[in-house]
Copies of this chain bind each other. A is one copy, B any other.
Amino acid sequence: MTTNVHPSLAAARQARERFRAGACRPTAGLAPGMTQANLIALPRDWAWDFLLYAQRNPQACPVLEVSDPGDWRTPMAEDADLRTDLPRYRLWRNGALTGEINDARACWEEHPDLVPFLIGCSFTFENALFEAGIEVRHITDNTNVPMYRTTLPCRPAGRLQGDVVVSMRPLPASQVAKASTITARYPGVHGAPIHVGDPQALGIVDLDRPDFGDRVRLEPGEMPVFWACGVTPQAAVMASNVPFALTHAPGHMFITDVPDSRYHV
């Protein structure tokens, strides 16, 4: 049987298959045009608090999809297995990172009622920036996007609280407005920047020392531009002493079969 599959869709499936077989690498640049998502899975007892937390902080935690308790499948990729198809996972116990794993099947055995949430990722609008002639520095330099914990509080929900985590892209001052306009039309994947310029206003002490990901070049005449980031749920897990959580490792996303254009308004 021959089937015509769009090359990006084929690339998404192939990447998931490789990760399932044990391969591990950051996902930036893989399957261009296909939506990549942050993962956080919590026991059913914490799911309401988290969904409410996400609803109250939609720029940082835009929920793309929630699977039923105990289900590791998702409509965002029919053949995918959320337990194995991400390149790298982080395991959290009582708010502390306890390990990184490549296969999370044991987590569903330990917590048969685990609820997986898929959260939008700013990788989705990076294609649109690139197509508009705006350089995305960490892609040019082939590094992971720098991410920072801030002192901006999220709105709490139930037992969950924490601060916003941001990603940063340096832009020439003349391109800040254009990048803002473009990304604003992707509200499901963090939308417009939440801050332009002075990192100290966000409580960021040193741009060269990101909390997650890699440092990035800032050229003369460029402004640091900050978007809310899907690592924010991990900050909430840490700040709220959540007994158990499974997440993606920063930069190691879930690659879906949904085109980025789905989230353009």
A residues apposed to B, CB below 8 Å: 47-48, 51-52, 55-56, 63, 66, 68, 158, 184-185, 187-188, 191, 265
Contact = CB atoms under 8 A, between A and B. Distances in A.
19 contacts: A47-B48, A48-B48, A48-B51, A51-B51, A51-B52, A51-B55, A52-B66, A55-B63, A55-B66, A56-B66, A68-B158, A184-B265, A185-B185, A185-B265, A187-B187, A187-B188, A187-B265, A191-B265, A265-B265
Contacts of A184: 265
The secondary-structure label for the interface of chain A is: helix
Contacts of A51: 48, 51-52, 55
A191 B187 CA distance: 12
Given A55-B63, A185-B185, A187-B188, 10 more contacts: A47-B48, A51-B51, A51-B55, A52-B66, A56-B66, A185-B265, A187-B187, A187-B265, A191-B265, A265-B265
A52 B115 CA distance: 11
Contacts of A191: 265
A73 to B, nearest CB: 14
Contacts of A158: 68
A55 B47 CA distance: 13
A187 B263 CA distance: 10
Contacts of A188: 187
A77 B187 CA distance: 24
Nearest to A192: B265
Contacts of A47: 48
Contacts of A63: 55
A46 to B, nearest CB: 11
A199 B68 CA distance: 33
A105 to B, nearest CB: 24
Contacts of A187: 187-188, 265
Nearest to A265: B265
A48 B56 CA distance: 15
Contacts of A56: 66
A48 B158 CA distance: 13
A158 B187 CA distance: 27
Nearest to A51: B51
A48 B184 CA distance: 29
A48 B52 CA distance: 9
